Amino acid sequence: MAGRVIAIDGPAASGKSSVSRGVASAFGWLFVSSGHLYRAVAWGALRDGFSHDPSHSLIDWIAMRQLTLLEDEDPAKGVSLLLDGENATPHLSKPEVAAKVSLIAAVPAVRDFINARLRSLSETHDLVMEGRDIGSVVFPETPWKFYLDASPEERARRRAKEGAVDSVAERDRLDSTRATSPLTIPPGATVIDTTHLDLQQVIAAVLSHLDSLTVTTTRSAQ
């Protein structure tokens, strides 16, 4: 990890993506949704016919995949993903991908494949990265860790407002109970309950914690 990493973890629809984008924009660092990489792989696995009991056959399959990350000019917009040269972006929010991604993300070979890419990005970039295990497993050494939460009702409401068909509760159950890298509050993380906070309030809370942790060097004027 040559670059610096701000790790933002939490359950589905806790506000991680929007908050992480806001923080990335305040610092001029690259925003990365690790969930997008899991969704891109889940889309590819469905495309290639892995809809049932993926664990064994996925090991060989994932070894043959090429996942390319393309940076936008604006680092806070994040990266576009190509899987085997094909643009995965239009497929990431599809209901069938949301329905299968947690099963596919539970496979250790898939996690190793994605973690290697996430870690290699940090060799060349300062990152604001969001996910489920960023502070606990991918970058446990970073001093800047957050865990965003919100009540299950509020999270289901936020997802429905986005117009998404998504069983947030079921994904939470699978993500929290899997054997490898389950969703957990990383030791030392700052926990923020966003249930009654709007986006700007959460971004302000994160930035104020970061100021007190002295991540101020490259922060642009707001």
Query: Which parts of this chain interact with ligand CDP (CB under 6 A)?
Result: 12-13, 17, 33-35, 38-39, 101-102, 105, 131-134, 171, 175
**Shortest gap between Cβ of 21 and ligand CDP (angstroms)?**
12
**Shortest gap between Cβ of 211 and ligand CDP (angstroms)?**
26
Q: Which is nearer to ligand CDP, 15 or 75 (CB)?
A: 15
Q: In what order do the strands lie in the sheet with 67-71?
A: 67-71, 79-83, 86-87
Q: Which is nearer to ligand CDP, 91 or 132 (CB)?
A: 132
Residues 145, 16, 217, 122: is their CA dihedral positive or negative?
A: positive
Can you tell me the distance from the alpha carbon of 80 to that of 124, in angstroms, rounded to the nearest whole number?
17
Q: Residue 118 belongs to what H/E stretch?
A: helix 108-121
**Shortest gap between Cβ of 96 and ligand CDP (angstroms)?**
13
Q: Which is nearer to ligand CDP, 170 or 211 (CB)?
A: 170
- Rounded to a whole number of angstroms, the CA Rg of the chain reads 17
Task: Decide: 113 and 41 in contact? Cβ < 8 Å.
Answer: yes
Q: Which is nearer to ligand CDP, 91 or 171 (CB)?
A: 171
**Shortest gap between Cβ of 17 and ligand CDP (angstroms)?**
6
